[in-house]
Structure 1
Amino acid sequence: MKAIFNPGTSKKALTLMDNIVYSTVKDLEGNPLELKLSVLLQNGNSEMRAAVGEDDPKEDHTPKPALVWIPGGGWKGCDKNLMLGEMTEFANAGYVVVSIYYRSSAEGHYPDQLIDVKTAIRFVRAHAAEFEIDPDRIGIFGRSAGGHLAAAAAMNQDGFDSEECSGYSSKVQACCDMFGPVDIPALMEVEEKKFSDPNFRWHKVEETHGGCLLGGDPATMKERGAMASPVNMVNPGMCPIQILHGDNDPLVPVEDSSERLYQKIVDAGMEDKVDYYVIPGAGHGTREFFQDATKELQIAFFDRYLK
Structure 2
Amino acid sequence: MKLSIKTIKILFVLVCCPLALMAQKPNEQEILDTFPNKETVVYKTVDGQELDMLIFYPDEEKMTSKNPWMMHVHGGGWAGGSKYNILKKAFLGSLKSLLDNGVICVTIKYRLAKGNSNAYDAVVDAKDAARFLLKHAKRFKVDKKRYGVWGGSAGGHLSLVTALGKNADFKGDSEFKTCKPKFKCVVSYFPFTSCLNPEIRPGSIFEDGKLFVRLLGAPLDEKPELARLLSPTELLKKNSPPILLIHGDKDTVLPIVNSTYMVEVAKEKKADVELLTVKNAAHSFHGNNISPSIEELNNYATAYILSHLK
Scaled to the shorter chain, the TM-score interval is 0.7 to 0.9
SS at match of 2:119: coil
Amino acid at match of 1:33: Q
Counterpart in the other structure of 2:122: 113
User: Structure 2 unaligned runs (5+)?
Assistant: 1-34
Counterparts in 2 of 1:189 and 1:225: CA distance versus 1, 3 Å: farther
Q: 1:236 deviation in Å?
A: 2.9
Counterpart in the other structure of 1:129: 138
* Correspondences of 1:187-198 after superposition (within 5 Å): 188-191=201-204
Counterpart in the other structure of 1:47: none
Residue 167 of structure 2, aligned match among 149, 158, 174: 158
Q: Is the 8 A contact 1:153 1:171 kept in 2?
A: no
Amino acid at match of 2:57: L
| RMSD over aligned Cα atoms | 2.4
Measured in 1, the distance between the counterparts of 2:216 and 2:206 equals 20
Is 1:172 the equivalent of 2:188? no
Counterpart in the other structure of 2:77: 74
Q: Percent identity?
A: 24
Amino acid at match of 1:170: P
Counterpart in the other structure of 2:111: 103
Deviations 1:203-239 (A, max 9, x none): xx33x2x321211246425774344110111113310
Counterparts in 2 of 1:231 and 1:276: CA distance versus 1, 3 Å: same
Measured in 1, the distance between the counterparts of 2:191 and 2:84 equals 19
Counterpart in the other structure of 1:242: 244
* Correspondences of 1:282-293 after superposition (within 5 Å): 282-287=281-286, 291-293=294-296
Residue 299 of structure 1, aligned match among 265, 277, 302: 302
Measured in 2, the distance between the counterparts of 1:161 and 1:290 equals 39
Residue 22 of structure 1, aligned match among 43, 46, 62: 43
Measured in 1, the distance between the counterparts of 2:239 and 2:111 equals 26
Counterpart in the other structure of 2:264: 263
Q: 1:265 deviation in Å?
A: 0.8
User: Structure 1 unaligned runs (5+)?
Assistant: 1-12, 27-31, 45-57, 196-204
Amino acid at match of 1:181: F
Counterpart in the other structure of 2:194: 183
Q: Is the 8 A contact 2:248 2:283 kept in 1?
A: yes
Residue 34 of structure 1, aligned match among 50, 64, 74: 50
Runs of 4+ in 1 over 6 A off after TM superposition: none
Q: 1:88 deviation in Å?
A: 2.2
Counterpart in the other structure of 1:252: 254
Measured in 1, the distance between the counterparts of 2:262 and 2:194 equals 8
Choose 238-247 or 217-226, whichever is displaced more.
Answer: 217-226
Counterparts in 2 of 1:59 and 1:264: CA distance versus 1, 3 Å: closer
Amino acid at match of 2:239: G
Counterparts in 2 of 1:21 and 1:102: CA distance versus 1, 3 Å: same
Amino acid at match of 2:37: T
Measured in 2, the distance between the counterparts of 1:240 and 1:14 equals 32
SS at match of 1:184: coil
Amino acid at match of 1:141: W
Choose 107-116 or 140-149, whichever is displaced more.
Answer: 107-116
Q: 1:104 deviation in Å?
A: 0.5
SS at match of 1:135: strand
Measured in 2, the distance between the counterparts of 1:97 and 1:33 equals 23
Q: Is the 8 A contact 2:145 2:182 kept in 1?
A: no
